Amino acid sequence: MRIYGGGREIFVKLVSANLKQTEKEVSAVLKLTTNQRSQVQLKQLICSKPTIVIVTLCPMSSPFAARTSVEAVEEGMLLAPKFDAHGLIPVVTTDADNGEVLMHAYMNEAALLKTLETGEAHYYSRSRQQLWHKGATSGLVQTVQQLLIDDDQDCLWMKVKVAGSGASCHVGYRSCFYREISPGEGELAGPVALTFTESTKTFNPVAVYGNAPNPTQL
Say whether both 142 and 97 belong to one domain: yes
Measured distance CA(129)–CA(149) in Å, rounded: 24
pLDDT on residue 189: 81
Say whether both 85 and 126 belong to one domain: yes
Say whether both 93 and 23 belong to one domain: no
pLDDT on residue 38: 53
Mean pLDDT of residues grouped by 10 in the chain (218 residues)?
42 45 51 49 54 45 87 93 96 96 95 95 92 91 96 97 88 90 83 91 87 83
SS3 89: strand
- Residue 169 within a domain: no
- Residue 117 within a domain: yes
Please check whether residue 169 is in contact with residue 175, taking contact to mean a CB–CB distance below 8 angstroms: yes
pLDDT on residue 149: 97
Number of folded domains that form the chain? 3
- Residue 71 within a domain: no
Measured distance CA(127)–CA(206) in Å, rounded: 18
Say whether both 146 and 189 belong to one domain: no
Say whether both 52 and 100 belong to one domain: no
pLDDT on residue 168: 87
Say whether both 33 and 93 belong to one domain: no
Measured distance CA(119)–CA(113) in Å, rounded: 10
Q: Count the residues in the chain.
A: 218
Say whether both 87 and 154 belong to one domain: yes
Say whether both 84 and 158 belong to one domain: yes
Say whether both 141 and 184 belong to one domain: no
- Residue 66 within a domain: no
Domain coverage including residue 34: 2-59
Residue 204 C-alpha from the chain's centroid: 25
pLDDT on residue 156: 98
pLDDT on residue 212: 82
- Residue 214 within a domain: no
SS3 101: strand
pTM over 0.95: no
SS3 190: coil
Question: Any idea what DSSP says for residue 173?
Answer: S
pLDDT on residue 211: 84
- Residue 216 within a domain: no
Say whether both 121 and 189 belong to one domain: no
pLDDT on residue 137: 86
- Residue 173 within a domain: no
- Residue 170 within a domain: no
pLDDT on residue 128: 86
